[in-house]
Amino acid sequence: MSTVLAHSLFSEFDINLFKAGKHYRLHDKMGSHLLTLDGVEGTYFAVWAPSARLVSVVGDFNFWKDGEYSLHVRWDESGIWEGFIPNIGHGEVYKYKIHSNHNGVITEKADPFARRAEHPPQTASVVYKFNHTWEDGEWMRKRHKHNHLNAPFSVYEVHLASWRRKEDEGNRSLSYLELATELVSYVKEMNFTHVEFMPVMEYPYSPSWGYQITGYFAPTARFGYPEELMTLIEALHKNDIGVILDWVPSHFPEDAHGLGSFDGTACYEHPNRQKGYHPDWKSLIFNYERNEVRSFLISNALFWLEHYHVDGLRVDAVASMLYLDYSREDGEWEPNRNGGRENLEVITFLKELNQEVYSSFPDVQTIAEESTSFPMVSKPVFSGGLGFGMKWMMGWMHDTLTYFKRDTIHRNHHHNEISFSMTYAFTENFMLPLSHDEVVYEKQSILGRMPGDEWQRFANLRLLYTYMYTHPGTKLLFMGSEFGQGTEWNFEEQLDWYVLKYQFHKGIHRAFKEINKLYVDTPAFYEKQFDSEGFEWIAHDDDENSVLSYIRKDNNTHEVSICVFNMTPTPQSNYRIGIPFEGRFREIFNSDATEYGGTGEYHNRILKISTESWHGKPYSTYIDIPPLAGVVFELIKN
């Protein structure tokens, strides 16, 4: 049996931090690392397997022979096994063969800290050293301007495998390098400020869309090498586009090579199935009570921010983490020590995560997908919040899509659905999402929800986007929705790009580009997007006409934008609205424009402002509102 040369990257200080759950750079110590020891080149391996009695490294280099390269367990009861194996270099394929002290169980596991994994369906890890020189220094220096909460934040959510495909090459997905050209130019053309990648961490099962992760530190090999993902991110940065990664600290799959029963026991998952198994996704839940697991997860978050220069993390399924009774019936969950349903360990974990992220990377954002009324999700930890930068506004999404799906003749009876969001819009730093979850499982595409004939469906969609992008909050739109994809999203096929040869799809595509530009270029729409001072109703109660109107303001209220929406196909001529200021008043966007597929018949070129009060405002004017349209006016005070 060959001997592993003993060597350690861990100091006593590292071990104490790890045991306390406070080591946030475990990726610098754990996993496989190329080293030269006493003049001999090789690889140092370190893995946490506290219930193991024997751990060996197996791979192509020893014909997967168990026991030949055995690691040494540390004396300090940390559960870390480590060792240096000479003559194993970059690109070697390996796993850990773990003999458990529990019932003689033997597992063969991929490295939880591997920086590269084999291409699925292969499941081994790869010894890997990054070889990339970053050239995005200008972006990184000024990133705080793009990522600040008072900056425009318009996100294009992308599933890399199905955005575009090479249909003439076996329907293959684009590579990271191909996306660095095609996706980057498209996102820039469409005026998005950020992209969000659905999970790119290695996952074995394509129908999971990446949400069942087995390689938390390894970008999926489906699209290329780690450096090629870095090149894609770098290309986005060079075009002033930020990158958000979907991150899944909520659950992981039971695949044999993954984290589940890692050392023959519940190592990463909670041993109590009421806390450790997710009934919705048939997956395992991390044990947030275990310090070493908390270190693993926080280290993983920081790894992507540090090594891949990402600008934010959208944290998946936060609601499922926060509540012990999430998707469970009575008797299927246990209350916390205070008798409540909140997972107290998760709350402290999320606070710790956000504190460390913002401490190390103050110019990034963390964004919670959280669907409940849990308080202060996006408020600072020092004031009692969870510390996220933003939270998805799921109530807005639900109410808005419910409203727009209604036949226009009935909308006057449901006017509160479209105005209700403003009663709580500033309780959190909200992001308005129309995400992938809204265009699958027979929910229809966003266009498919719109009522009426073809003209009305596209007019409704233009109206919806105008409302969404002038409403307070940041924005997120799932790919395909920007050009009115008619079918539900299919992860195995590319988007229906062919529809852009049809006039209505061309129109919505052009309209969305301009709506996005309007949001990005107009300070009134983003400088106070989380502040009630940046919003003022004109009229929210005109249910008879189904007309909604409000004012958006910038930091100094030097410029304001007036937004008026007609939710029915009946045009409104000489519609009177109240105005708070005297000044010049002009139309700057009209979703009914001919070039967008609208009628083009209702314009407001020169508007006379009267000193007669209306809607509780000291001044007023008359406007023409097109059918099923949003109209935006710029008011510059004298």
Q: What is the mean pLDDT of residues 54-64?
A: 96
Could you report the per-residue pLDDT of 338-387, keeping only the tens digit for each? Answer: 999 999 999 999 999 999 999 999 999 999 999 999 999 999 999 999 99
Residue 600 confidence class, pLDDT cut points 50, 70, 90: very high
Half-sphere exposure of 282 (CA within 13 A, CB side): 2
Q: What are phi and psi of 566, to 5 degrees?
A: -105, 110
Report the alpha-carbon distance of residue 406 to residue 388 in Å, rounded. 34
Residue 638 confidence class, pLDDT cut points 50, 70, 90: low
Could you report the per-residue pLDDT of 10-49, keeping only the tens digit for each? Answer: 999 999 999 999 999 999 999 999 999 989 999 999 999 9
pLDDT of residue 2: 56
Residue 91 confidence class, pLDDT cut points 50, 70, 90: very high
pLDDT of residue 231: 98
Could you report the per-residue pLDDT of 188-247, keeping only the tens digit for each? Answer: 999 999 999 999 999 999 999 999 999 999 999 999 999 999 999 999 999 999 999 999
Report the alpha-carbon distance of residue 158 to residue 196 in Å, rounded. 6
Q: Are residues 635 and 585 in contact, defined by beta-carbon separation less than 8 angstroms?
A: yes
Measured CA to CA in angstroms, residue 259 lies from 114, 198, 278, 437 at distances of 12, 21, 15, 26
Q: What is the mean pLDDT of residues 156-168?
A: 96
pLDDT of residue 581: 86
Q: What is the mean pLDDT of residues 250-277?
A: 96
pLDDT of residue 605: 76
Beta-bridge partner residues of 244: 196, 312
Report the alpha-carbon distance of residue 113 to residue 115 in Å, rounded. 6
φ/ψ bin of 401: left (φ > 0), alpha (ψ from -120 to 50), beta (otherwise): alpha
- Crossing angle for the helix pair 176-189 and 226-238, nearest 10 degrees? 20
The sign of the torsion formed by the CA atoms of 27, 30, 31, 37 equals positive
Q: Cis link prior to 121 (omega < 30° from 0)?
A: yes
Q: Which residues are catalytic?
A: 316, 369
pLDDT of residue 610: 87
Q: What does the CA dihedral 80, 81, 84, 89 come to, rounded to 10 degrees?
A: -90
φ/ψ bin of 419: left (φ > 0), alpha (ψ from -120 to 50), beta (otherwise): alpha
Q: What is the mean pLDDT of residues 442-458?
A: 96
pLDDT exceeds 60 at position 144: yes
Would you list the DSSP string of 243-292? Answer: EEEEE--S-B---TTSSTTTTSS-SSB-SSHHHHEETTTTEE-B-TTSHH
The sign of the torsion formed by the CA atoms of 65, 67, 72, 78 equals positive
Residue 603 confidence class, pLDDT cut points 50, 70, 90: confident
Computed over every residue of the chain, the mean pLDDT equals 95
Beta-bridge partner residues of 392: 431
pLDDT of residue 608: 82
Q: Are residues 203 and 255 in contact, defined by beta-carbon separation less than 8 angstroms?
A: no
The pair of three-digit structure tokens given for residue 511, joined into one six-digit string = 């309209």
Q: What is the mean pLDDT of residues 299-312?
A: 98
Of all residues in the chain, what percent carry a pLDDT higher than 70? 99
Q: Quickly list H helices, 104-199.
A: 137-147, 176-189
The whole-model pTM stands at: 0.96
Report the alpha-carbon distance of residue 603 to residue 68 in Å, rounded. 80
Could you report the per-residue pLDDT of 4-21, keeping only the tens digit for each? Answer: 777 899 999 999 999 999
Domains and CATH numbers, the chain: 12-126 (2.60.40.10), 152-247+292-319+360-525 (3.20.20.80), 532-637 (2.60.40.1180)
pLDDT exceeds 80 at position 632: yes
Residue 468 amino acid letter: M
Could you report the per-residue pLDDT of 347-359, keeping only the tens digit for each? Answer: 999 999 999 999 9
pLDDT exceeds 60 at position 1: no
Query: Residue 201: enclosing H or E segment and its boundaries?
Result: strand 201-202
Residue 636 confidence class, pLDDT cut points 50, 70, 90: confident
